[in-house]
Amino acid sequence: MKPMPEMPAPRTNPTYGGAFGSILPFAVFIVGVIGIALSGAPDERGFWPILLLALFIGLLLARDRRAYCETLIEGMAQPIVMIMISAWMLASVIGVLLTDTGFVEALTWGAGRLGLAGGIFIAVSFAICCLVSVSTGTSFGTILICGPILYPAGGMTGAHPAILAGAILAGATFGDCIAPISDTTIASALSQEADIGITVRSRLKYVLPVGIFALILYGVIGLALQDQAGAGRLAVQGQVRGLPMLAVPLVIIVLLLRGRHLLQGLLAGLFLGIGLGLALGLLPPERLLTLDPVAFTARSFVIDGIERSVGISFFTILLMGLVASLQAGGVLQHLVDFVGRKSRSERSGEGWIVGAVSGAVLLTCHSIVAILTVSEFVRMMGAKQGLSRYRRANLLSLTVSTYPFLLPYFIPVILAANTTSAGAGHGLPRISPLQAGLHNYFSWAVGLVLLLALAFGYGRRSDRALGKLDGRDAPARENTD
């Protein structure tokens, strides 16, 4: 089980203009990123200038600029940030290694033999990512492991690139929402003092129908938009020689299933891949490291992979600094206090739960931080209104399974778009974050189910029944709506 990251304790960091001054830098960031994304930003590097501008505006508005700078550094230096960046770098290197050793061509060969082309490959890719994300409990890890492999392979079978990228992101979202070892599941359950096993059981009725719907939708739309010419190229381009490299992702997944650290799994997979590549003659020795004394440069597949991860790494560092400054200003706490005064009934209480965590996740860009920010309010207000702890946990999890996997300025969406760079060597286009999020049919369907749950009370009664089993839930109010 992964430990929940602790939310940094609020610290006073007054700004000129009060709450407006605290929000303004983040508002500039959101407006700028959305504008760039709608204009077709090629990748997350296009967001760098906007983030720097937002940080500078925050500096100008800060009354204590030294404290502001220290807050930025504290946010950037969080252990979770370093873990993510290290994992992205290693995963990008592994993606280049698998491409160089012909693993993508081997998958293409296998898809051709099984007839998994175009839309069928998209549906299968979604299912594979669902299995990996449920097994590992990490959406980031699933995208990092599956994206660089499935995107090039699927694109070469005639699959629609943007829909394929969306399917990979959607499969990663599935496990993040339902896996017992997912940090989202753990945070939503434990923050409401709910049993994790019962929470997962109660969540099935929301998530499984959505997953089946998304699987069918990917198959139908993928078949309608597939490139028939691409499917016909399978027999020509596919080669079986890289198939032994399948051991690399398998070893990574097995290690994660056994509870090993993500970095341990990636490092083990990387060096296993290097050994296999050299032993089987799939990896030319000069790809390990080549020095050019005249030009004073070095070339390596490791360097190529790390360069691919620079964009999202620098974006994450700057974003976490901006989020830390927003938390330090106390804006999120004011939001929680405000909605706590507005809840009057069970239905309105559910609406405010969704509204509060929606506001928190949109402002922090981090699902777990958002859940922890509103957890005390949700627990106290939910108990007052007679809401089951499992209902509260499910509302929290369903909400943070929408925005962070749809909007183009959230890390999972940017990461999914970033992994499509693995298809460049095969003539495939790089997908923008806006396109990847747009085609995440699972999260769109989760949002619809969430609206049905709020409007018609779907799942409320069964969640309440589960809550009564452990005897800890308060009785429901007589007049709830």
pLDDT of 326: 78
Do you know the residue count of the chain?
481
Closest by CA to 211, choosing from 253, 167, 256, is 167
**Domain residue spans of the chain:** 18-469
Alpha-carbon span 21 to 188, nearest angstrom: 31
Find the range with the poorest average confidence among 60-64, 300-304, 379-383.
379-383
What's the CA gap between 453 and 5, in Å, rounded?
Answer: 29
Distance CA 310, CA 394 (A): 35
Most confident of 98-102, 310-314, 378-382, 431-435: 431-435
Which residue reads 């290290």 in tokens? 86
Higher pLDDT, 478 or 285: 285
pLDDT at position 344: 65
pLDDT reported for residue 221 = 93
User: Per-residue confidence at 480, pLDDT binned at 50, 70, 90?
Assistant: very low
Q: What confidence category does residue 95 fall into, taking pLDDT thresholds of 50, 70 and 90?
A: confident
Whether the per-residue pLDDT at 350 is higher than 60: the answer is yes
Give dist(CA 137, CA 352) in Å, integer: 28
Q: Does 378 or 10 have the greater pLDDT score?
A: 378
Token duo for residue 48: 């760098």
3 state SS of 298: strand
Q: Among 44, 14, 7, 20, which Cα is nearest to 310's?
A: 44
Give CA torsion, residues 137, 140, 145, 151, to 10 deg: 120
pLDDT-derived band at 11, boundaries 50, 70, 90: very low
Distance CA 137, CA 145 (A): 13
C-alpha dihedral (36, 317, 135, 370), degrees to nearest 10: -80
Q: Helix, strand or coil for residue 292?
A: strand
Nearest alpha-carbon partner for 390 in 134, 185, 182, 181? 185
Widest CA span in the chain: 82
Judge residue 389's burial from the number of C-beta atoms within 10 Å of its C-beta, 0-12 exposed, 13-18 middle, 19 or more buried: buried
Predicted confidence at residue 340, as pLDDT, reads: 60
Q: Which residues contact 216 (CB under 8 A, 6 or more apart)?
A: 123
Confidence of residue 236 (pLDDT cuts 50, 70, 90): very low
Question: What pLDDT is stored for residue 2 in this prediction?
Answer: 46
| pLDDT given at position 337 | 64
Q: Which pLDDT band holds residue 215 (cuts at 50, 70, 90)?
A: very high
pLDDT band for position 278 (cuts 50, 70, 90): very high
Is residue 51 within 8 Å of 319, Cβ to Cβ?
A: yes
- pLDDT class of 416 with cuts at 50, 70, 90: very high
C-alpha 289, offset from chain centre: 33
Q: Higher model confidence: residue 437 or residue 330? A: 437
Nearest partner of 273 among 295, 256, 249, judged by Cα: 249
Query: Do 448 and 173 touch, CB atoms closer than 8 A?
Result: no
Q: For the chain, how far is it from start to end, CA to CA, in angstroms? A: 38
The Cβ-side half-sphere exposure at 352, using a 13 Å CA radius, reads 25
The pLDDT mean for the chain works out to 82
pLDDT, residue 3, reads: 45
Cβ neighbours of 175 (radius 10 Å)? 26
Average pLDDT score over residue span 365-383: 76
How many other CB atoms are found less than 10 A from the CB of residue 338? 13
Tell me if residue 166 falls in helix, strand or coil. helix
- How much is the pLDDT for 42? 53
- Half-sphere CA count of 99, side-chain side, radius 13 A: 29
